[in-house]
Amino acid sequence: MTHPLVPQEEATIRAFIIRARRARFLELLPNPKKRSKITKALAHPNLGWFDSRFVKAIPPAQSHAPLIAKLLRSKGAGEKCWAISEDVELDGREVELDSILPKIVGYGMGTILCCIPGKLAFVESEDGRFILQK
């Protein structure tokens, strides 16, 4: 049985995932039995999933949790964000930005933090970290 897609997830997927992959994300994420097909792939996301116009690299010198939090806040992020993650304890939850970043940055658990739905997100993966911004 599928559940309605959470508005934060839907806005983020529609804003940042390329059109060719978007329908699959929107189909699988709300289905509890199939959601993991997306979340497990977040450890090594295909960078082609993301609309390259909105991908912003995080300079290596700023690639630590406190600096990422500061960078996200400078772009309008609030106290809380929504997580799409391969970490089942974190996935599908609203989390505190400052407390979750130290737990995901550098630990290789693929995660998308939806900071401002459809406008600002942070991606952590084994292949790197970056910001999605419109």
- Residue 19 included in any domain: yes
Q: Confirm whether 103 is domain-assigned.
A: yes
Q: Which pLDDT score, from 0 to 100, does residue 47 have?
A: 66
**Contacts of residue 17, Cβ cutoff 8 Å, sequence gap at least 6:** 25, 49, 50, 51
Q: pTM, whole model, 2 decimals?
A: 0.93
pLDDT at residue number 5: 75
What's the number of domains the chain is made of? 1
Bin 76: left if φ > 0, else alpha if -120 < ψ < 50, else beta.
left
In a domain, 92, yes or no: yes
What six digits make up the tokens of 30? 């709300």
Please give the pLDDT value at position 59: 84
Structure-token pair, residue 26: 């929107």
- Write phi, then psi, for 5 (nearest 5 degrees): -70, 135
**11: in domain:** yes
Is residue 2 assigned to a domain?
Answer: no
Residue 128 inside a domain? The answer is yes
> Residue 1 domain-assigned?
no
> In which residue ranges of the chain is pLDDT below 70?
1-4, 47
The answer to whether residue 40 is domain-embedded is yes
Q: What is the pLDDT of residue 98?
A: 95
Q: What's the confidence (pLDDT) of residue 107?
A: 84
Task: Supply the pLDDT for residue 45.
Answer: 76
pLDDT at 3: 59
Domain of 77 in residue numbering reads as 7-133
